[in-house]
Amino acid sequence: MSWYQKEILLKPRGRGFHLINEEVVNQLTEIKNIKIGLMHILIKHTSASLTLNENFDPNVRSDMEKYFSRTIKENEPWYDHNSEGSDDMPAHIKSTLIGNSLTIPITNGKLNLGTWQGIYLCEHRNHAGSRKLLVTILGDDK
């Protein structure tokens, strides 16, 4: 049984739901050495989140952004936390609802996701910088 832990940096993205499978896997060469295991991913931010969802139709990603932006509005008069901009408190709420981590099985050196599943970075700020992910892998080597 082997453990690997690595912090990876994602490129900056604008607000929205972004597929990041390739970017994550390209920075984690350790995955290819795992016969069976688990990968846990934690996003180290409070205004972005992670989820698994549709990896084929980009309309799903834009519909997700539209839904969350209409459901959790900016500039609500009851927000006290607004010193970092009108998108900040809604970003914290969205990240709490969606979540900050994922656990994904690894089988024979690959992420064992469903045919239509992809890892989303859910960026809730209008102008965010790079996002850090802490990835921990536990598994039996090939």
> pTM of this prediction?
0.96
Contact of 132 with 27, CB cutoff 8 Å:
no
Q: What is the percent of the chain where pLDDT is above 70?
A: 100
Q: Is 91 left (phi over 0), alpha (psi -120 to 50) or beta?
A: alpha
Q: How far is CA 97 from the centre of its chain?
A: 13
Tell me the per-residue pLDDT of 109-130, one tens digit each, with 9 for 90 and over. 999 999 999 999 999 999 999 9
pLDDT at 142 over 90: no
Supply the pLDDT for residue 116.
Answer: 97
User: Which domains are delineated in the chain?
Assistant: 2-141 (2.60.120.460)
Tell me the per-residue pLDDT of 64-86, one tens digit each, with 9 for 90 and over. 999 999 999 999 999 999 889 99
